[in-house]
């Protein structure tokens, strides 16, 4: 399923717990362009709910979540909204 997703930025946050999982994902997202896709690699189960919920709250599109090992998940998020304040 994730074969058709073109990944622009990969962020490995294994070892990180909430809220830093989202904080680091958000900082990575801020540096990306609209339409680009961020792949977040995490081993923190609560992040599977927290990151998608917070990303959607900020207007970003969660494409899919994939389990890649017993304790490893990948969350794919597309940047749909620019938050830069002027």
Is 57 a binder of another protein (CB under 8 A)? Answer: yes
Interatomic CA distance for residues 52 and 57, integer angstroms:
8
Interatomic CA distance for residues 37 and 32, integer angstroms:
8
Instruction: Say whether 77 sits in a helix, a strand or coil.
Output: strand
Lay out the site mask for another protein across 4-43 (x = CB under 8 A, - = otherwise).
Answer: ---------------xx-xxx-xx--x-------------
How many residues of this chain interact with another protein, rule: CB under 8 A?
A: 15
Residue 30 or 80 having the CB closest to another protein: 30
Contact call for residues 59 and 80 (beta carbons, < 8 A): yes
CB of 38 to another protein, least distance (A): 14
């Amino acid at each position: 399923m994730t074969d058709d997703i073109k990944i622009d930025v990969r962020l490995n946050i294994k070892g990180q717990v909430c809220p830093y999982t989202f904080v680091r994902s958000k900082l990575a997202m801020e540096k990306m362009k609209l339409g680009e896709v961020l792949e977040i690699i995490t081993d923190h189960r609560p992040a599977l709910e927290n990151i998608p919920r917070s990303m959607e709250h900020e207007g970003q599109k969660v494409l899919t979540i994939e389990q890649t090992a017993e304790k490893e998940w990948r969350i794919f998020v597309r940047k749909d909204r620019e938050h830069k304040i002027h």
